[in-house]
Structures are given as C-alpha cells and as structure tokens.
C-alpha cells in the first residue's frame, strides 16, 4: 500500500487481545503502523530455554480471559493517551508456548521515537505486572512451577 493512500485515522489505533494460536507479530504491528507516526517501537517477549539454571521445555499461560481482555484494552487506552500515541498494541498468548516462540508482543507508534520507546516500556512492564495472566514453566527435569507461586 502506498502511504499516501492510507486512510486518515482519528484517535489512536488500539490492538489488544489474547491469542490461543501463535502470534503473527508482523501482522499485529502492521495494524498500528500509521503515516503520521515516525517512531514505532516493538517488544516481542519470547520463551527462553533456561530459567534459574534449569532447561525450559515450554511455558503454559492461563488467563482470567474477560478480565485480562478488559485490562489490556484499558492499559492500551491509558498509555496511548499519556504518550499521545497514534497506535498501541498489547497482545498475549495463552495456552502452550514453546521455546523461541513469542509469548507477548507490545508496540507503540508515536510521532517521535522518545514517546514510542517510553510507551512500549510501560506497555510491557504493566502488562506483566497488572494483567490477569499466569505463567507455568515446564522443565526438562520433569518439574513445573507457576512463576511467582513458589510451587515446584
């Protein structure tokens, strides 16, 4: 698509959600790309193979879905307003996520890079801290642990 042909959009474009299937990061980011935003910062959180010296096989995410969806939307709205964003993205996987797969993607589109970086940082930090999504690590040693629960 030629940029000059992109439709004019009033207000920020907000893309939020929970996905049971692998994340199409490129398509998600494209949804918030705007011709009036020169800064577009993307953070993709992927499953790493090691945690606390143990080999991770996969992560399993659970969510209180209706609450998490409302929280993601409210967070994107708040951050978009605070940083005058043209677009905000916060999408998280639920279910089984294998090593190297993206578990979460956040992005911020702003007129300038400073606002985009600050907004993306806030989107990921607050998603991890505030949204009703829980993570279980499954290890090669036959153990599993809910992160933050102390269980093994």
pLDDT, tens only, 12-64: 999 999 999 999 999 999 999 999 999 999 999 999 999 989 999 999 999 99
Question: For the segment 67-125, what is each residue's pLDDT rounded down to a tens digit?
Answer: 999 999 999 999 999 999 999 999 999 999 999 999 999 999 999 999 999 999 999 99
Name the one residue in this structure whose structure tokens are 């992927």.
Answer: 46
Asked if the structure places residue 11 within a domain, the reply is no
Listed in sequence order, the residues at least 6 apart from 5 whose beta carbon sits closer than 8 Å to its beta carbon are none
The H or E element that residue 114 is part of is: helix 113-130
What stretches of 78-143 adopt beta strand conformation (E)?
87-93, 95-98, 102-110, 133-139
Asked if the structure places residue 7 within a domain, the reply is no
Asked if the structure places residue 1 within a domain, the reply is no
How many domains is the chain built from? Answer: 1
Asked if the structure places residue 14 within a domain, the reply is no
Asked if the structure places residue 122 within a domain, the reply is yes
- pTM greater than 0.85 (yes/no): yes
Q: What is the pLDDT of residue 105?
A: 98
Q: Domain containing 130: what range?
A: 23-82+91-103+118-146
Asked if the structure places residue 27 within a domain, the reply is yes
CATH of the domain at 42: 3.90.1170.40
């Amino acid at each position: 698509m030629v940029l000059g042909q992109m439709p004019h959009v009033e207000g920020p474009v907000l893309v939020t959600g929970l996905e049971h299937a692998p994340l199409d990061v490129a398509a998600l980011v494209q949804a918030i790309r705007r011709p009036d935003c020169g800064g577009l910062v993307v953070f993709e959180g992927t499953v790493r193979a090691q945690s606390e010296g143990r080999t991770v096989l996969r992560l399993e995410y659970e969510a209180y879905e209706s609450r998490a969806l409302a929280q993601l939307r409210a967070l994107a709205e708040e951050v978009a307003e605070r940083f005058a964003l043209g677009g905000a993205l916060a999408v998280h996987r639920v279910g089984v996520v294998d090593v190297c797969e993206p578990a979460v993607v956040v992005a911020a589109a702003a007129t300038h890079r400073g606002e985009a970086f600050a907004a993306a940082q806030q989107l990921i930090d607050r998603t991890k801290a505030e949204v009703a999504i829980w993570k279980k690590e499954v290890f090669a040693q036959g153990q599993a642990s809910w992160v933050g629960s102390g269980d093994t």
